[in-house]
C-alpha cells in the first residue's frame, strides 16, 4: 500500500505573488533557523531515510523529530511519504532553491553597489 507524499505550504497560486514569495522565504529561513532542523536537512541531503532512522543520532524524542519534520514540510524543504508503517523523508530541492534565490538576489544587489563604489573611487578627484 502506498500513499502520496504529504505536502504543506501555501496554495500553488499564491507562491507566484510577491506576498506568497515573501511568505515562502520566511518559512524556509524560519525552518533553517533551528540547529536540529538544519541537521535533519543535512542528513537528508545524503538520501532518503525513515523517520526512526533519522531520529536515532539526534538527542531528542521521536515526537520532537516529527514536529521538526512538520516545520520542514510546511516550509517546502522536506517531503515525507508513508509506505505501510514506515514514513520516509526526502529532501525537496525546490525548497532549498527558494533560499538560494533569495541569497543570489541579495548578492547581486550588493555586488552592483560595490562595483559603483569602486567606479566612484577610481574617478580622479574634482577640485
31 vs 37: CA distance, rounded Å: 7
**Residue 2 DSSP one-character state:** B
- Three-state DSSP at 54 gives helix
The full length of the chain comes to 127
Grade residue 20 by pLDDT with cuts at 50, 70 and 90. confident
User: Is the model's pLDDT at 121 over the cut of 70?
Assistant: yes
Confidence (pLDDT) at 126: 67
Highest mean pLDDT of the ranges 9-23, 29-43, 95-109: 29-43
Query: Is pLDDT above 70 for 27?
Result: yes
70/78 Cα distance (integer angstroms): 9
Question: Looking at the whole model, is its pTM more than 0.85?
Answer: no
Model confidence band, residue 7 (pLDDT cutoffs 50, 70, 90): very low
Indicate the pLDDT class of residue 15, thresholds 50, 70 and 90: low
CB 75 within 8 Å of CB 27: yes
Q: Which helix (H) or strand (E) holds 99?
A: helix 93-122
Task: Write down the mean pLDDT value for the chain.
Answer: 85
CA–CA distances in Å: residue 106 to residues 1, 69, 111 = 45, 28, 9
Closest to 89 (Cα-Cα) out of 56, 126, 127, 125: 56
Joined together, the cell numbers standing for residue 114 give 560595490
81-118 pLDDT, tens digit each: 999 999 999 999 888 998 998 899 888 888 888 888 88
Q: Please name which of 4, 26, 11 lies closest in space to residue 98, comparing C-alpha atoms.
A: 26
Categorize the per-residue pLDDT at 127 as very low, low, confident or very high, splitting at 50, 70 and 90.
low
Amino acid at each position: 500500500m502506498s500513499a502520496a507524499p504529504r505536502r504543506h505550504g501555501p496554495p500553488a497560486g499564491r507562491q507566484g505573488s510577491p506576498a506568497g514569495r515573501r511568505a515562502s522565504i520566511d518559512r524556509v529561513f524560519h525552518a533553517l533557523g533551528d540547529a536540529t532542523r538544519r541537521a535533519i536537512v543535512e542528513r537528508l541531503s545524503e538520501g532518503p531515510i525513515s523517520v526512526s532512522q533519522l531520529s536515532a543520532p539526534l538527542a531528542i524524542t521521536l515526537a520532537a523529530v516529527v514536529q521538526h519534520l512538520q516545520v520542514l514540510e510546511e516550509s517546502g524543504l522536506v517531503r515525507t511519504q508513508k509506505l505501510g508503517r514506515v514514513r520516509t523523508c526526502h529532501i525537496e530541492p525546490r525548497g532549498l532553491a527558494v533560499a538560494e534565490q533569495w541569497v543570489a538576489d541579495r548578492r547581486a544587489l550588493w555586488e552592483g553597489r560595490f562595483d559603483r563604489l569602486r567606479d566612484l573611487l577610481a574617478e580622479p578627484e574634482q577640485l
